A and B are shown apart, each in its own frame.
Chain A
């Protein structure tokens, strides 16, 4: 199976360790993973902020880059949701591009979908002897319906103690450009999310999206609070 890793722009620039973790996980399972050098971004920020015309060149580039792979895996619920839910409508005026997108969609996976649904693995032999809590990010939960896939993977990690997060299904307040367009409301939501995290007494907060974790981690550090934010892929690779 010809598998490509779409690391996402945020991970590439700020969280390379998450991409490295995905490579390690897949190679450990005996899979060859390719990282197309042409890859950049999915265009989510443009599309979600209303800049459809500006999103189009980015979308075209994404489709060109990942055409021809059997599977495209990304460690981000949000970027995969962009491809799966927004691409079809954004490209519908261009039949050729629409056909390419339709072909690409069913082969684009968030990491936990790929591991469980495609590879059929749940135990990655990882060990992470820490108290952790998990925040299900909105696009993973509601747009992709990941369900408990990430938790299923984490349940096999040796030594990991998972503490339930109160109000876990509530948005952390990031919302892409929402965080800077509506900083006051975003900050209020973040405040409540941080309080819920601190209540768990966890040492680590895990999620499927580093963008949300940047927001949450930034809020925790602002309060000089202890819990550290880590993408769940890094825990699975540990």
Chain B
């Protein structure tokens, strides 16, 4: 049995290749720069005003570490409490099983459509596609998810799935693809929102089934929590008869009181708001109020495998705020689609390869300069840079038996660098090797073009040549001269 996850967790191309395609879209880069910098600045402002922010981060980190330690017990406690409150709990090993369960549940109601609350987990398992092939129409009700769905695109950001579109592009998508949208629709935010509102209202009023994820699942009480901005989620959570929630097993918190920490950390880190407009909590079924049938699908999809790595498991602490995306210089240029997974950016680069097994996603841990900007903003203090390096190690270890040019070069360099005589000889050889080039360049010590594989460096920058005299050679020469001077003229040597 494969312990790893399936679904929208990897793309067809390696990161560097996919990023190259995305980099060639100037409008995309402009949209991303504008959007990430706006949210980044807003986050900084509202985080700076919290005097105990660091303690909150430490609390969040500690609670999530405890969840990781006690996950089996907490899951059973959650199941018992949820069942006691009237919910039905299902367990899904991977994306396929989760999709089968949800599709079956919708079919059982006799409904042929369902409204959806923005949910990363359902995107992770490709639920919309599974429902569609079962003849069920799933309607995204979050504005950004709606845009992405209408455009038949994929989300490119955890919080703002349509971050890669600007207003004009959204207007065009609505005009062309949203039923009932006027041809005269402008790109004014109010008009766009109103058009979406009118479109969605019909869906809410007719839907009999809603599908959600959850931001948190409280083990003690069996309560699920959804945090949102628009209120569309609240509509889905209250109007339909049946509510199906797909919840990653990493979403647990032990007790209700723990929400105090996360409900402060999440909105400030995520949208840069002091508090999010809508926080919905529900526990099983309340007779006569809201959905009378509630199902919870607890999803593994590679999470247990992630938990088994003592360094990598901290990735499961993620509360999907996306602060790391908004400060990441690589994400800002490459965009979310380059990561090939529903989880992009720095956190995606450590979550996706762990969920799928690092061999399936080996380019992602390298999609970072290790600049560490993500570490500083993470509300639960995940050491993303450290996990990236760790996963690079796992990626290299996984291919230990194949001999690549890179591995040969690394072994050779390790052999050279662990012995000063070999190091000195290699340095002199490098200088001799580049001497004709240096002579050709005259006084210039940089090169514009180098052959493969060094062409990857000279593709966008000149390369330096080794110095005519290394530092250590200088040191030995000048110390020898100094000693000689001291021997020849002791008094002069001492005062120099």
Which of A18, A174, A182 has the largest count of B CB atoms less than 10 A from its CB? Answer: A182
- Taken together as a complex, chains A and B put the C-alpha atoms of A78 and B163 apart, in Å, by 33
B376 at the interface (CB under 8 A from A): yes
Contact B414 A46 (CB under 8 A): yes
- Point out the residues of chain A lying under 8 angstroms from B414, CB to CB: 43, 46, 51, 54-55, 57-58
> Which residues of the other chain, B, contact A184 by a CB distance below 8 angstroms?
16, 19-20, 23
Determine the chain B residues whose CB is within 8 A of the CB of A171 once the complex forms.
Answer: 329, 369, 371, 373
Contact in complex: A61, B472 (CB < 8 Å): no
Q: Which residues of A contact B469 (CB under 8 A)?
A: 16
Is A31 engaged at the interface, CB distance under 8 Å to the other chain?
Answer: no
Q: How far is the CA of A43 from the CA of B469 in the complex (A)?
A: 23
Contact residues in B for A183 (Cβ distance below 8 Å): 16, 456-457, 459-460
| CB-CB contacts below 8 Å: A1-22 with B | 7, 9, 11-16, 18-20
Q: Do residues B457 and A179 form an inter-chain contact, with CB atoms below 8 A?
A: yes
Instruction: Decide if A13 touches B368 in the complex (CB within 8 Å).
Output: no
Smallest beta-carbon distance A193→chain B, Å? 9
Q: Cα distance A9–B474 when bound, in Å?
A: 14
Contact partner of B413 (CB less than 8 A), chosen from A13, A20, A46, A188, is A46
Q: How far is the CA of A49 from the CA of B15 in the complex (A)?
A: 16
Interface size of A by Cβ–Cβ distance < 8 Å? 69
Q: Does A41 contact B (CB under 8 A)?
A: yes
Task: Give B387-438 interface residues, CB cut-off 8 Å to A.
Answer: 389, 391-397, 406-407, 410-411, 413-420, 423, 427, 430
B16 in complex: contacting residue of A11, A170, A181, CB < 8 Å: A181
A219 and B417 contacting across the interface, CB-CB below 8 Å: no
Q: Distance (Å) between the CB of B394 and the closest chain A CB?
A: 8
Check B372 against A54 for contact (C-beta < 8 Å).
no
Establish whether residues A187 and B460, one from each chain, have CB atoms under 8 Å apart when the complex forms.
yes
Tell me if A178 and B366 are in contact (CB < 8 A): yes
How many chain B residues touch A (CB < 8 A): the figure is: 69
Docked-complex contact A178 and B471, CB < 8 angstroms: no
Complex CA gap A49/B394 in Å reads 11
Quote the shortest CB–CB distance from A195 to chain B (angstroms): 12
B439 → A minimal CB distance (Å): 18
Q: Is the CB of A9 within 8 A of B417?
A: yes
Check B470 against A16 for contact (C-beta < 8 Å). Answer: yes
Contact indicator A45/B413 (Cβ below 8 Å): yes
- Which A residues lie within 8 Å of B392 (CB)? 48-50
Are A219 and B471 within 8 A (Cβ)?
A: no
CB pair A222–B460 under 8 Å, yes or no, is yes
Partner of B420, one of A38, A85, A177: A38
CB distance from A57 to the nearest CB of B (A): 4
Q: How far is the CA of A52 from the CA of B329 in the complex (A)?
A: 26
Could you tell me the distance between the alpha carbons of A188 and B332 in the complex, rounded to whole angstroms?
10
For the complex, what is the distance from the CA of A191 to the CA of B26, rounded to whole Å? 14
Do A189 and B333 form a contact, CB below 8 Å, given A50-B396, A142-B375, A218-B461?
yes
A148-200 residues at the B interface, CB under 8 angstroms: 169-171, 173-191
> B residues within 8 A CB of A122?
none
Question: Can you list 30 pairs linking A and B with CB atoms under 8 Å apart?
Answer: A14-B464, A16-B473, A41-B423, A48-B392, A49-B396, A50-B396, A50-B397, A51-B410, A51-B414, A54-B411, A58-B414, A86-B389, A89-B386, A139-B372, A169-B373, A175-B370, A175-B371, A179-B457, A182-B19, A183-B16, A184-B23, A185-B16, A186-B369, A188-B23, A190-B461, A214-B464, A218-B446, A218-B463, A221-B462, A222-B448
Other than the known A19-B471, A50-B397, A142-B373, what 7 A-B pairs have Cβ atoms closer than 8 Å? Answer: A16-B470, A37-B472, A61-B417, A178-B366, A180-B456, A182-B15, A186-B369
Interchain residue pairs A-B with the least CB separation, the first 3: A175-B369, A218-B461, A50-B392
